[in-house]
């Protein structure tokens, strides 16, 4: 018999489900050459993935707050060229 799933893992699965939906939206928008809107949905997907990691105990709240506090609407071209590792969840 498989082990019982905890409430944290249920939430983690729900967040991952939402992340997949946002990734699908981003992919569709990229096919239509709508990079800005695709980037927004990819950002949302990343947020859901981060929350899933928090729920499963693989990330801290602090690390997700650092990612979610990025002002995505006001990025300059220099900020967009920063290495992705600066924004990664630790």
Could you report the per-residue pLDDT of 45-54, keeping only the tens digit for each? Answer: 999 998 888 8
Other beta carbons within 10 angstroms of residue 48's beta carbon come to 19
The residue written with tokens 């928090």 in the block is: 54
Q: pTM, whole model, 2 decimals?
A: 0.61
Higher pLDDT, 4 or 77: 4
- Confidence band of 76 (pLDDT split at 50, 70, 90): low
């Amino acid at each position: 018999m498989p082990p019982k799933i905890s409430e944290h893992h249920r939430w983690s699965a729900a967040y991952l489900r939402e992340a997949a939906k946002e990734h699908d939206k981003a992919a569709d928008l990229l096919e239509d050459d709508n990079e800005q809107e695709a980037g927004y949905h990819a950002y949302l997907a990343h947020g859901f993935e981060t929350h899933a990691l928090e729920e499963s105990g693989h990330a801290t709240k602090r690390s997700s707050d650092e990612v979610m506090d990025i002002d995505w609407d006001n990025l300059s071209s220099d900020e967009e060229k920063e290495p992705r590792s600066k924004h990664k969840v630790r």
